[in-house]
């Protein structure tokens, strides 16, 4: 069984036992989180597609850790002005382990 969930403005395909990295969630490490925005659930019997979400579906996850992503360099150069701006960015991320999918 698999599901497609939405969190942090992005969509992820998840299966039981898998680990995914998502935008930072406000839960402590070791806590249990329920993702309610389930767009699709795939089973042996077929697909359940939501409009936009599948009613009554829920994906239960465990927060494994909080971390920061790789550094992204943002470089702006203005031509003919002999000027530029260089900044960096590291995104806060959360790693989740999928425990169960209820449809």
- For strands 92-102 and 83-89, give the pairing: unpaired
Residue 59 in tokens:
């994906």
Determine, yes or no, domain membership for 88: no
Determine, yes or no, domain membership for 39: yes
| Whether 90 contacts 72, CB under 8 Å | yes
Q: pLDDT tens for residues 11-60?
A: 999 999 999 999 999 999 999 999 999 999 998 888 989 899 999 999 99
Indicate the pTM of the whole model: 0.84
Domain extent, residue 58, equals: 2-66+94-102
Determine, yes or no, domain membership for 24: yes
Determine, yes or no, domain membership for 89: no
Per-residue b/e over 9-20, b at no fewer than 16 CB within 10 Å? eeebebeeeeeb
Determine, yes or no, domain membership for 78: no
Determine, yes or no, domain membership for 43: yes
* 3-state DSSP helix/strand/coil % of the chain, to nearest 5: 0, 65, 35
Q: Please give the tally of structural domains in the chain.
A: 1
């Amino acid at each position: 069984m698999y599901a497609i969930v939405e969190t942090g403005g992005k969509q992820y395909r998840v299966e039981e036992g898998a680990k995914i990295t998502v935008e930072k969630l406000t839960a402590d490490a070791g806590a249990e989180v329920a993702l309610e925005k389930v767009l699709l659930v795939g089973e042996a019997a077929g697909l359940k597609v939501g409009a936009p979400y599948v009613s009554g579906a829920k994906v239960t996850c465990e927060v494994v850790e909080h971390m920061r992503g790789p550094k992204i360099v943002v470089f702006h150069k203005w031509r003919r002005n002999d000027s530029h701006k260089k900044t960096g960015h590291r995104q806060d991320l959360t790693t989740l382990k999928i425990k169960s999918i209820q449809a």
